[in-house]
């Protein structure tokens, strides 16, 4: 199947944040181009050197020492935020990191205060990002990160805590109000009683606080445990429907086409939840290429894509974390268990104004905080003292033009068909590029 350059731009931006024209595979066969994206991915675990965890030693520390340790951990988790952000910029990791970012939003879990949990969850998501959803679901459910976040430690026989059971159904598998009742949630919570991790994060089930009684879940009665429930959820085709709908909204468009969802769900369910099969089918579908310009870039997508465009090093860690906060998406720190709403929720008056200014700020040596609107300044004043975050670095324009030799710059950078804007940028120089990147059109992918 012939595959033109506009379609290559579209796929490359959706799958890998951004790819220069000269880096595109020259094949005109869509399936080969798609396979090439998968073949070149390198799975590199996030890593930071941490002290070997010694829970007994920590318990014996004074309160002052514990506060210092917690402060240090928060700094280490912030460093991991920066390291992951930087890893997304690598050309051989774009798609696997994009998929990790997707699962990071799906299994939203706040770990920003604990580098050990941050590493556990992030690497778990990455290692399964293109694997099997069943394996991923089981791993997340048994992780110390999720067990801590959704209060499974408080889930005991006779005192069931329903937090995990509810979110498992509503946010991780079936979706809201689909094929389950409040009674099902209560019974599912009983099935997960006793789920814990030991002091070193290894999953275990404590039998003395696990409810071994019969439970009626989804109309079936038995002495079900947590793994039984996970398998029941995977057997239900609505789980496949729900997952592919979220994939569709992340990679295709917010306005869901039910026929497309049926196609994707059939592939996903019949493949026994193979994520690679799902994504290859999606990227080879004709309708995927009809969705150009119908998604709003998330803050991380915006910043990483921009960084790849100009081979930026983003040397200022505080600036990266600050701008994540201002734009509304902080890695490892979701607003709640549902994660960021995304789509049009990324854009409000203040954040939109900041997005439009960022290209000029970065490329023309600006300071982010000096340029903020009064509305955003007022919002930030309630949270923290105003700071100046340097957010610029030298740009190698010669390399940019070399990387995109013979490219139509409008088609490379802009996804929608704004004919007036296109007419005004037939011949684009450095200033013209900055202007294109500062338009509302550039916010779309």
Model confidence over 21-31: pLDDT tens digits? 999 999 999 99
Residue 62 CA to residue 48 CA, distance in Å, equals: 26
Residue written as token pair 């026989």 = 157
DSSP reduced 3-state for 106 = helix
pLDDT in tens, 258-282: 999 999 999 999 999 999 999 999 9
Q: How many angstroms separate the CA atoms of 115 and 347, rounded?
A: 30
The pair of structure tokens assigned to 393 is 């670095």
Asked if 123 and 46 touch (Cβ cutoff 8 Å), the reply is yes
pLDDT, tens digit, 9 for 90 and up, residues 310-319: 999 999 898 8
- Give residue 58's pLDDT: 76
422 vs 299: CA distance, rounded Å:
25
How far is 47 from 70, CA to CA, in rounded Å? 19
Q: CA of 264: how far to CAs of 244, 248, 276, 280, 404, in Å?
A: 6, 9, 12, 10, 34
Tens of pLDDT along 233-263?
Answer: 999 999 999 999 999 999 999 999 999 999 9
Confidence of residue 200 (pLDDT cuts 50, 70, 90): confident
**Bigger pLDDT: 151 vs 394:** 151
Classify residue 10 as exposed, middle or buried by CB count within 10 Å of its CB (0-12, 13-18, 19+). Answer: buried
pLDDT band, very low/low/confident/very high, at 180 (cuts 50, 70, 90): very high
Q: What is the 3-state secondary structure (H, E, C) of 285-319?
A: CHHHHHCCCCCECCHHHHHHHHHHHCCCCCCCHHH
Residue 199 in this model has a pLDDT that exceeds 50: yes
Q: Which of 3-17, 63-77, 126-140 has the lowest mean pLDDT?
A: 63-77
CA-CA distance, 257 to 294, in Å (whole number)? Answer: 13
Predicted local confidence at residue 209, as pLDDT: 97
Compute the average pLDDT of residues 417-421: 88
The per-residue pLDDT of the chain, averaged, comes to 92
* Pairwise CA distance, residues 237 & 265, whole Å: 8
Percent of the chain with pLDDT over 70: 94
In this prediction, residue 374 carries a pLDDT of 52
151: left (phi over 0), alpha (psi -120 to 50) or beta: left
- 389 falls in which pLDDT band (50, 70, 90)? low
What average pLDDT does range 48-64 have in this prediction?
Answer: 83
Cα-only R_g, the chain: 23
What's the rounded mean pLDDT across residues 219-230? Answer: 98
44 within 8 A of 19, measured Cβ to Cβ: no
Tell me the whole-structure pTM to 2 decimals: 0.94
At 265, list the tokens: 């769900």
What's the pLDDT band for 203 if we cut at 50, 70, 90? very high
């Amino acid at each position: 199947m012939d595959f033109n350059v506009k379609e290559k731009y579209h796929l490359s931006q959706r799958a890998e944040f951004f790819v220069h024209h000269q880096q595109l595979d020259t094949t005109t066969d869509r399936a080969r181009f798609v396979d090439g994206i998968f073949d070149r991915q390198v799975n590199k675990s996030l890593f930071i050197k941490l002290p070997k965890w010694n829970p007994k030693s920590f318990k014996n520390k004074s309160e002052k020492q514990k506060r210092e340790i917690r402060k240090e951990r928060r700094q280490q988790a912030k460093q991991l935020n920066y390291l992951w952000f930087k890893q997304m910029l690598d050309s051989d990791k774009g798609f696997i990191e994009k998929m990790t970012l997707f699962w990071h939003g799906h299994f939203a879990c706040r770990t920003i205060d604990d580098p050990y949990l941050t590493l556990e969850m992030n690497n778990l998501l990455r290692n399964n990002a293109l694997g099997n959803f069943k394996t991923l679901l089981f791993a997340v459910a048994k992780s110390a990160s999720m067990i801590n976040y959704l209060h499974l430690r408080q889930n005991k026989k006779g005192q069931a805590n329903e937090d995990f059971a509810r979110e498992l159904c509503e946010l991780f598998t079936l979706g809201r109000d689909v094929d389950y009742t409040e009674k099902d949630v209560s019974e599912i919570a009983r099935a997960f009683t006793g789920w814990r991790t030991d002091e070193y994060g290894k999953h275990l089930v404590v039998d003395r606080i696990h409810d071994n009684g019969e439970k009626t879940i989804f109309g079936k009665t038995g002495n079900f445990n947590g793994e039984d429930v996970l398998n029941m959820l995977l057997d239900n085709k609505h789980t496949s429907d729900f997952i592919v709908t979220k994939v569709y909204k992340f990679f295709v468009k917010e306005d869901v086409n039910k026929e497309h969802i049926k196609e994707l769900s059939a592939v996903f369910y019949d493949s026994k939840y193979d994520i690679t099969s799902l994504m290859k089918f999606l990227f080879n579908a004709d309708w995927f290429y009809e969705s150009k310009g119908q998604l709003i870039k998330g803050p991380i997508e915006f910043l990483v894509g921009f960084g790849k465009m100009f081979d930026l090093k983003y040397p200022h860690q505080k600036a990266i974390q600050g701008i994540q906060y201002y734009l509304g998406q902080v890695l490892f720190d979701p607003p709640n268990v549902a994660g960021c709403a995304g789509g049009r929720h990324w854009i409000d008056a203040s954040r939109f104004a900041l997005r439009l200014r960022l290209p000029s700020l970065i490329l023309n040596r600006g300071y982010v905080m000096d340029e903020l609107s009064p509305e955003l300044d007022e919002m930030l004043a309630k949270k923290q003292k105003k700071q100046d975050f340097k957010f610029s670095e030298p740009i190698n324009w010669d390399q940019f033009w070399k990387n995109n030799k013979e490219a139509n710059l409008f088609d490379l950078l802009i996804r929608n068909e704004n004919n007036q804007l296109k007419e005004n940028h037939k011949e684009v120089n450095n200033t013209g590029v900055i202007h294109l990147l500062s338009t509302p059109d550039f916010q779309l992918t």
